[in-house]
Amino acid sequence: NQQKVPEIKYVPTTCPFCGVGCGLNLVVKDGKVVGVEPWKRSPVNEGKLCPKGYGCYEFIHSPDRLTKPLIKKDGKFVEASWDEALDLVASKLKEVYGKYGPDALAFQVSCRVPNEECYLMNKLARVGFKTNNVDNCARICHGPSVAGLSLSLGSGAATNPFADLLNADCIFVIGSNAMEAHPLVGRRLIQAKEKGTTLIVADPRYTLTARKAHIYMRFNPSTVIPLINSMMYWIIKEGKADMEFIKNKTKDFEELKKTVEKYADVEALTGTPTELVKEIALKYASAKNAAIVYCLGITETTSGTDNVRSLANLAMLTGNIGRPGTGINPLRGQNNVQGACDMGAYPNVYSGYQKVELEENRKKMEQAWGVEGLPGNYGLTLMEQIDACGDRVKAMFMLGENPMISFPDINHVRECLSKLEFSVVEDIFLTETAQLADVVLPAACWAEKDGTFTSGERRVQRVRKAVDAPGEAKPDWEILSLLGQKLGLKGFDFKSAEEVFNDMARVTPQYGGMTYARLEKPEALVWPCPTADHPGTPILHTQKFATADGLGNFFGIDYKPPAEVPDEEYPFALMTGRLLFHYHSGTQTRRSKQLHNEVPTGFVEISEADAAELGIKKGDRVLLKSRRGEVETNALVTKDIPKGVLNMTFHFRECPANLLTNTARDPLSKMPELKYCAVSVEKVKAR
Ligand code: SF4
């Protein structure tokens, strides 16, 4: 009477949430994922996970998963076969292409999906429709990092690995709440501090990360440039600039020097006492090795690219780049932000940042892809695509994107999407955006397919299939391959994710030496890895910068105020941020019981002083209004936020912060100003 012992399988893979890229094992029993175990051999997380990582499996078997293709008929979705759905998508996209030309089509892909699928989206847009209108959602998180770091250093990526923070004598964290948004980098900050590293945190809010700092520097939202310029002023004035490094490795120092001379005292603008700015500047500059860590507090503004270039100025001014324990490290929000950009899901470059405007690159890709006439114009960026709906853009393909929650000014997004002649959404749930589409294609989630993610430290790691997708859902790479075949395109007959990876690696210099076999080991490979025997490159710019002449570029950058500042009607500055227990539009984390129980509802943080003036108490319902919309939510009265400033997350669809946010953009990266807009707040009267 022996009972059968259920077989338990452990499948090593990579966390699907933030850009730290923790390794974990999915625990599989009876064909279902029943738990998660941190992957102890992963050098990224060394057997640890954050709460999001532990909760990452719970949405996989949700009854809400999409299982069949859906076609909208008479305003209602009806189930369809794959053949019927893909035939319709192919014929509609061709029809729009034939009627209006290549740039009437637009393609958006999420940074949550693996490299293979981002690469195929880029290939589909360019090979199938001769358009560069393809973009990914890095545009609205780290677009300014790509633009700013490329302009300053020649490469738009983090310079050093996360574990290398332990080699720093001083770490300057600005605009990043790593303890909540990137907890396993937060762990590195604590480890470094315990080893004796000085930890400085600059942020408008007294965050969980700020609480861990030796020195906390509060500054007014959107005043990064005067703050950093002032730090540089004091570094130069006190003779702490690394003149040897500046002379040998950089250019245009005089331009920077002249600019920062105007920023000796910035207290009126930043709210930060000059003595504190000077103290921190000298601490950073005097350290033998000093590292910068930053995140969306730097990028999600109309000055995003300039903010990033300011941090690059600071690192180069002190020679803190190109060695262990130094560098400038953007913390990528989504698991594959780095990869989606690397893969050429970007309107001005092919994979590997090969510019579309250069004829030699177009010729190279035409030959590799067996196609002619690739366009050299810049395509439309994410928000430009939205604005152009119904006008230049008539049809849109959105893979894993949910602009109805995550883009600024949701009312505007809804209005624009409604003007499309045809839209298709590929996703795992019927999201707010999918509900507006003409066709919805059901996708496998990350636990149900193979692939790779590239983390924020440029580490290319394997994603491994643990279970089957529900119903008829398919991996995105397979859907895009089938669609390519329906369109009659050459080079879309892929049988596996590995074949897509190999197709990508042969045209992408940074990934040229990578294969799935080489990525098997827990430490995987860090790009650039150009040849089969190359070990990968954890630290960039060790000899020279990746610019055309090998020199780092200084820029003299002046302060510009945000696009919309508080006034009498809208007297508060609204910031937006993330929580430890939730992730982006909440589609997945809000379907995790454990994460939902931690924070079940949204809220707005308001200072004790403002709350007292407005008669608002903790838990009161409050109404926020901006020029674009209004949102009702709960008040969280706190000491951690300055007077005149409010803070919300955008995880909660019942009180979406992005009804309020501003679409004004950074001119270089086209990043919208998600981190700053003017709002009013009032207590909701009892009904
Ligand atoms: Fe996942 Fe990021 Fe948490 Fe690591 S730190 S477990 S990658 S969410």
Q: What is the pLDDT, as a whole number, of residue 1?
A: 58
Distance 184 CA to ligand 1 centre (A): 6
Distance 51 CA to ligand 1 centre (A): 8
Average pLDDT over residues 485-505: 96
Average pLDDT over residues 184-204: 97
Distance 319 CA to ligand 1 centre (A): 31
CB-based burial label for 593 (10 Å; 0-12, 13-18, 19+):
exposed
Percent of the chain residues topping a pLDDT of 90: 85
Angle between helices 497-505 and 476-486 (to 10 degrees): 80
> Has residue 229 got a pLDDT over 80?
yes
Q: What is the pLDDT, as a whole number, of residue 134?
A: 97
648-658 tens-digit pLDDT: 987 777 778 89
* Residues 626, 617 contacting (CB under 8 angstroms): no
Q: What is the pLDDT, as a whole number, of residue 2?
A: 67
Alpha-carbon radius of gyration of the chain: 24
* Residues 504, 511 contacting (CB under 8 angstroms): yes
* Residues 350, 365 contacting (CB under 8 angstroms): yes
C-alpha separations of 283 from 198, 318, 456 in Å:
8, 11, 26
> Has residue 437 got a pLDDT over 90?
yes
> Has residue 249 got a pLDDT over 70?
yes
Q: What is the pLDDT, as a whole number, of residue 7?
A: 87
* Residues 288, 198 contacting (CB under 8 angstroms): no
Average pLDDT over residues 526-553: 96
Q: What is the pLDDT, as a whole number, of residue 405?
A: 87
Average pLDDT over residues 516-535: 96
Higher pLDDT, 296 or 187: 187
Widest Cα–Cα separation across the chain: 86
DSSP state of 352: G
Q: What is the pLDDT, as a whole number, of residue 141?
A: 77
Q: Which has the closest alpha carbon to 182: 45, 312, 285? A: 45
Is residue 671 very low, low, confident or very high in pLDDT (cuts 50, 70, 90)?
A: confident
Token code pair at residue 413: 């997004």
Range of lowest pLDDT (267-281, 290-304, 388-402, 582-596):
582-596
Q: Which has the closest alpha carbon to 393: 132, 74, 122? A: 132
Is residue 364 very low, low, confident or very high in pLDDT (cuts 50, 70, 90)?
A: very high
Q: Which residues pair with 93 in a beta bridge?
A: none
Q: What is the pLDDT, as a whole number, of residue 25?
A: 96
Average pLDDT, the chain: 94
Distance 473 CA to ligand 1 centre (A): 26
Nearest protein Cα to ligand 1, atom 6 = 53
Q: What is the pLDDT, as a whole number, of residue 655?
A: 76
Model ipTM value: 0.99
Is residue 365 very low, low, confident or very high in pLDDT (cuts 50, 70, 90)?
A: very high
Residue 242 CB contacts under 8 Å (≥ 6 apart), including other chains: 317, 318, 319, 320
* Residues 240, 286 contacting (CB under 8 angstroms): yes
Q: What is the pLDDT, as a whole number, of residue 79?
A: 97
Length of the chain, in residues: 687
Token code pair at residue 499: 């074949």
Residue with tokens 């009659």: 488
Q: Which residues pair with 396 in a beta bridge?
A: 106, 423
What is the rounded (10 degree) CA torsion for 300, 303, 308, 314? -140
69-87 tens-digit pLDDT: 999 999 999 999 999 999 9
Strands 354-355 and 349-350: antiparallel
Q: What is the pLDDT, as a whole number, of residue 596?
A: 81
Nearest protein Cα to ligand 1, atom 4 = 22
Ligand 1 mutation target, pool 13, 15, 25, most atoms within 8 A of CB: 15
Is residue 455 very low, low, confident or very high in pLDDT (cuts 50, 70, 90)?
A: very high
Token code pair at residue 460: 């290319």
State whether the Cα torsion 30-589-298-343 is positive or negative: positive
Token code pair at residue 169: 């004598």
C-alpha separations of 590 from 601, 602, 619 in Å:
10, 11, 21
Ligand 1 mutation target, pool 39, 48, 49, most atoms within 8 A of CB: 49
Token code pair at residue 174: 């600005």
Taking CB atoms and a 6 Å cutoff, what residues make up the pocket around ligand 1?
15, 17-18, 20-22, 45, 49-50, 52-53, 182-184
* Residues 472, 68 contacting (CB under 8 angstroms): yes
DSSP state of 230: H
Q: What is the pLDDT, as a whole number, of residue 319?
A: 97
Cβ atoms within 10 Å of 92's Cβ, excluding its own: 18
Q: Which has the closest alpha carbon to 672: 103, 226, 137? A: 137
328-342 tens-digit pLDDT: 999 987 889 899 999
Distance 447 CA to ligand 1 centre (A): 15
Q: What is the pLDDT, as a whole number, of residue 114?
A: 96
Residue 73 CB contacts under 8 Å (≥ 6 apart), including other chains: none
Q: What is the pLDDT, as a whole number, of residue 588?
A: 76
C-alpha separations of 309 from 62, 156, 305 in Å:
43, 11, 6
Q: Residue 404: helix, strand or coil by DSSP?
A: helix
Average pLDDT over residues 94-105: 97
Is residue 577 very low, low, confident or very high in pLDDT (cuts 50, 70, 90)?
A: confident
